[in-house]
Structure 1
Amino acid sequence: MSNTKIKLSVLDQSPVRKGVTARRAIEETTILAQETERLGYHRFWVSEHHNTTSLAGSTPEVLIAHLANHTKMLRIGSGGIMLPNHSALKVAESFRLLEVMHPNRIDLGMGRAPGTDRITASMLNPSNNWSEQDFVEQLRELQHYLHDTSDGGIQAKIKAIPIAETVPQQWLLSSSGQSALFAAHFGMGFSFAHFINPHGGPQAIQYYREHFKPSVDLTKPVENVALFVFCSEDEEKVKQQEALMAYRFLQLEKGGGLTSVGWNDIKDIRYTTIEQERIKANKPRMIYGTPAVIEERLSKLAADYAVDELMVVTITEHFEDRIKSYQLLSDLFL
């Protein structure tokens, strides 16, 4: 076990593996939540994605209710609710209800990205114009709804139902430094998505800490970093899973959407020079390796960011490898 004090958490995207159904993907997410709770993980977040058949998590608030009912102490939350897709009132009511059902266990992680392509996002919320000011206004409205306060206007006549005695812990998620300012201003937690952008994260978190304003919910800054991780004692499995993730990154960058593939589908692919350059550029988004490699690299990353909590995203061809990876990580750090 490492001497480095690192809390481990999970960001799960409910991947629909090749040959399985979305129902099975949700079952695997549920099993993973129960197992990581047993292992001592700190929190378990689920994501919001749309218009892709390879990820089953389209509605975090529904999945959070299910997972909270199937666990006992693990913090369950969204990583995240893509706020521009929704009204602030709807988000407040969904998470107030979750908080009433599971007091002091719910995290409301929010992002500004759509979690999908722009056409789908426009169907989710036809009035969305991608304005930074609109996003800030949504955050401000959300605070009023969650705390039963008002700055006047129409909103003063509206209550987010049900009335709750506690408030979900709020986080802003970002792959750039932009939301660090918003998280600091509103006194929320801040999660940096290293798995999306491996550059500039330590600076964004430092900015957040330096500009943090205490809020009624949070008296001091709280932050974590999310990244792709895969740990195995089998070096060949490490190689194969890393290659599969490299292929997924290229799928996304080419705009063709994600499809579920296995090692045999990609093992003979020969990449162009440009594709090889993109694979190399994307490699820092993930830390894959044997336990000894993982222990050293995760400890260094936590030190570089000066954080004590890492959120692990793991997607594998076989579910048993995904479970085993989280077990090996717990042996190292928990």
Structure 2
Amino acid sequence: MENNVSTALLNTRFSVLDLVPIVEGVTASEAIQRSLDLARHVEKLGYTRFWISEHHNMESLASSAPTILIGHIAGGTTTIRVGSGGVMLPNHAPLVVAEQFGTLGTLYPNRIDLGLGRAPGTDQRTAMALRRYRQETVQDFPDNIDELQVYLSRENATAAVRATPGEGVELPLYLLGSSTFSAELAGKKGLPYAFASHFAPTHLHDALRLYHQNFKSSSQLDKPYAMACVNVIAADTDEEAQRLATSAKRFMLGVIRNTRKPLSPPVASMQGEWSEMERMQIEQMMHYTFIGSKQTIAAGLAQFQKETQVDELIVISHIYDHSARLKSYKIVSELFEAKEELAYSS
């Protein structure tokens, strides 16, 4: 691998986002077990953290209760950080989040991350069922973060309402987003920021710019820390990776058609699977998707890192076959396994 490609990734951390996908022919129980297997796999490979997202009313995903899954994953691993990517804060009372993650942080000290988002993680009807018909205002999300931080602080020890466990637990917060709103907010609050470029690429560069422009140091962070999530499907050859990627494309096709079925097996070609308009829409949504062999992936990720200057890449891989998914993460890990060797040679 050429140094000009590799050095762009030298100081970049790599992590994993898992939606706990349910593939055709696999139960929710098996999907959860596969996620634990993946977490153990990437822990051995040296990934920094393993995040689980919150989604509801989707038969293709078993991630409706991320707090429970985080405990399951953390209990089945030993060193990798485990957290939410993220908890959709408008769906929950801040006190409940503080108590639940305070409990996780007590059980697994210095290993739990609390990533927060403001989207519902589902359709509007399900969001109403989750929120009991409470309408969210623009200011609710910032206010709820403030309330959550109060519950987690040691200074709340004399308050009438306290989070136990939770109060004083070492629990870093991260803000997640796919627009500029959360980016600016994360900067002003001095929190790490993660952008969902794996499905909403449009505002990536504006969001990162606003995050850095508005950043103010905090007790958690003295300088900006930016993360971006990207789709990666790696295989021995470009051709095999492109074949595996058809499962992800069919998954996204289900999203735009609102027919969100379990992840389907790959097909030889997407020809006949989608219309030209659907193809264009999905390719736009999956703009930051890297498909190919190790060399192809390395070049693509290095260019992405140069353009964004993010501190951490969060990898998500929609791959039908579990062994192929594990292999994809192994191939990606080879890009950062050789950091010392690359640093010496450069």
TM-score normalised by the shorter chain: which range applies?
over 0.9
1:105 and 1:252 mapped to 2: Cα distance?
A: 33
Q: Indicate if the aligned counterparts of 2:243 and 2:268 stay in contact, CA closer than 8 A.
A: no
What secondary structure is seen at the aligned counterpart in 1 of 2:69? Answer: helix
Q: Indicate if the aligned counterparts of 1:244 and 1:266 stay in contact, CA closer than 8 A.
A: no
Matched, 1:124 2:130: yes
Q: Indicate if the aligned counterparts of 2:152 and 2:168 stay in contact, CA closer than 8 A.
A: no
Shift of 1:232: 0.5
Shift of 1:272: 2.3
1:270 and 1:162 mapped to 2: Cα distance?
A: 50
Q: Indicate if the aligned counterparts of 1:65 and 1:98 stay in contact, CA closer than 8 A.
A: yes
Shift of 1:305: 0.9
Aligned to 1:166: 169
Q: How does 1:32-47 map to 2 (within 5 A)?
A: 32-47=38-53
Shift of 1:131: 1.4
Kindly report the root-mean-square deviation, in angstroms, between the aligned alpha carbons of the 2 structures. Answer: 1.9
1:184 and 1:236 mapped to 2: Cα distance?
A: 41
TM-score scaled by structure 2?
0.90
What secondary structure is seen at the aligned counterpart in 1 of 2:115? Answer: strand
Aligned to 2:342: none
Q: Which runs of 5 or more structure 2 residues have no equivalent in the other structure? A: 338-346
Shift of 1:165: 4.2
AA partner of residue 281 (structure 1): Q
What secondary structure is seen at the aligned counterpart in 2 of 1:132? Answer: coil
Q: Indicate if the aligned counterparts of 1:100 and 1:164 stay in contact, CA closer than 8 A.
A: no
TM-score scaled by structure 1?
0.93
**Aligned residue among 8, 12, 16 for 2:14:** 8
Matched, 1:92 2:93: no
**Identical counterparts, % of pairs:** 36
1:319 and 1:332 mapped to 2: Cα distance?
A: 21
AA partner of residue 215 (structure 2): F
**Cα deviations across residues 48-88 of structure 1 (Å, max 9, x unaligned)?**
11101111111111111111111111111000000111000
Aligned to 2:340: none
Aligned to 1:51: 57
Q: How does 1:265-284 map to 2 (within 5 A)?
A: 269-284=272-287
Aligned to 2:84: 78
2:269 and 2:234 mapped to 1: Cα distance?
A: 21
Of 75-84 and 201-210, deviating more is: 201-210
Aligned to 1:107: 113
Q: How does 1:150-299 map to 2 (within 5 A)?
A: 156-264=159-267, 269-299=272-302
Aligned to 1:142: 148
Q: Indicate if the aligned counterparts of 2:94 and 2:145 stay in contact, CA closer than 8 A.
A: yes
1:123 and 1:131 mapped to 2: Cα distance?
A: 17
**Aligned residue among 33, 36, 43 for 1:30:** 36
Call closer, same or farther: CA 1:24–1:304 in 2, change over 3 Å: same
**Cα deviations across residues 209-267 of structure 1 (Å, max 9, x unaligned)?**
22112222222221211011111013333122222222222211122334332225985
Call closer, same or farther: CA 1:283–1:68 in 2, change over 3 Å: closer
Q: Indicate if the aligned counterparts of 1:100 and 1:165 stay in contact, CA closer than 8 A.
A: no
Of 234-243 and 217-226, deviating more is: 234-243
Of 8-17 and 245-254, deviating more is: 245-254
Call closer, same or farther: CA 1:163–1:83 in 2, change over 3 Å: closer
1:212 and 1:202 mapped to 2: Cα distance?
A: 15
Q: Indicate if the aligned counterparts of 1:85 and 1:128 stay in contact, CA closer than 8 A.
A: no
Q: Indicate if the aligned counterparts of 2:247 and 2:266 stay in contact, CA closer than 8 A.
A: yes
1:208 and 1:181 mapped to 2: Cα distance?
A: 5
Of 188-197 and 126-135, deviating more is: 126-135
1:191 and 1:238 mapped to 2: Cα distance?
A: 26
